[in-house]
Structures are given as structure tokens and as C-alpha cells.
Amino acid sequence: MEAPDAGLAAELERSLELTAERLGDPTAQVYRRLFELAPDLEPLFAGDRSGSVRGEMLQRALETLLDLVRGAPYAHGLIATEQINHAQFGVPPARFTLFLVAVVDVVRDALGAQWDAAIAAAWQAVLDRAAAACGTGPGAR
Ligand code: HEM
């Protein structure tokens, strides 16, 4: 497991604060992007009429990613466990981290010129760490 990195966490937080300044709640944009990348995954949310599951999932995923780079002991295991849980309701394990790719695309687009090298490196590092937790190798993006 990778060492805690407060600098990485700070860059992720900075990018999420800037995203919130630009978009407010980015939930709709994140799922729109996910369904652009993988239209076949949209029916999995058919039962989520209020959008509360999508909101909760994004919130939990972001908290877990921040805790992953802060070195919180639970984060690595939660990602691996959620990947297994999700396979049971139809999310192919190899596509589990696609949700994180959708998050990065929305943050990058929202930040525009403020998407600097430090923020880009922080998101690449957290994709790699999440992919390592899933046993699917470095996040290639
Ligand atoms: C393409 C990738 C993904 C898809 C299609 C997906 C889909 C879903 C769906 C359909 C549910 C609702 C399940 C139900 O009916 O109970 C759900 C719940 C959840 N997902 Fe995902 N998921 C993805 C990736 C992730 C990732 C990367 C994380 C976190 C690292 C995550 C964390 C969660 C959590 C915590 C819940 C429970 C939310 C609640 O308590 O309501 N998911 N996911």
C-alpha cells in the first residue's frame, strides 16, 4: 500500500473546491459523463428515481479517494470490497473504476486553465492507487 500523501490530498481538495465554485453540485455532470463513457451502465440506476443513490455514491467515492491518499486504513479495503459488491449487481469489475474516470473528466473540464500540473498529477496518482486497490493496474488516462 502507498504511503499517506498530504500534498496529494490537498491538491485533490483544491480541485474539488474549484469544481464546486464552478458547478455547485457536480453529481448530474458526473453521471452524464459516466453514461457517455458507458451507456449500458445507465439502466443500473433505473430504480434511483430521486437520485439519492447517485448522490450518496459520488459523496462516498470522493470521501474514500481523499482518505485513500491520506492513508486511512479502511479506504483500500472499501474500494476492493465495493468492486466485489458491485459485480453482484451487474458492474463488471474491470469497469468499476470508470466512475472515477468520469469524475476526473468533469473536474478537468470544470477547472479549464486552472487544471494545472499539480492537480493533474494528484488525480493520476489517486486513479493509480484506486486501480491498485482493485487489482486492475495503474489507472491509464
Ligand atoms: C462504473 C462504475 C459504477 C457503477 C455503474 C455503480 C453503480 C452503482 C449502483 C447501481 C448502486 C446502487 C445499488 C443498489 O441499488 O443498492 C451503487 C451503490 C453504491 N456505489 Fe457504486 N457504482 C460504480 C462505481 C462505484 C465506485 C468507484 C464506488 C466507490 C469507490 C462506488 C460506491 C458505491 C456506494 C458506497 C454505494 C451505496 C450508495 C448508497 O448507500 O445508497 N460505486 N453503485
pLDDT digits (tens, 9 = 90+) for 78-119: 999 999 999 999 999 999 999 999 999 999 999 999 999 999
pLDDT band at 137 (very low <50, low <70, confident <90, very high): low
Distance 86 CA to ligand 1 centre (A): 7
- pLDDT computed for residue 139 by the predictor: 46
Q: Which are the contacts of 73, defined by CB distance < 8 A and separation ≥ 6?
A: none
**CA distances in angstroms from 117 to 6, 68, 122, listed in the order given:** 17, 20, 9
Considering the entire predicted model, what is its pTM?
0.92
53 lines ligand 1 (CB under 6 A): yes
99 lines ligand 1 (CB under 6 A): yes
Q: What is the pLDDT of residues 33-76, one digit of tens each?
A: 999 999 999 999 999 999 999 999 999 999 999 999 998 989 99
Sequence letter at residue 104: V
Instruction: Give, for ligand 1, the residue of 33, 37, 50, 57 to mutate: max count of ligand atoms closer than 8 Å to Cβ.
Output: 57
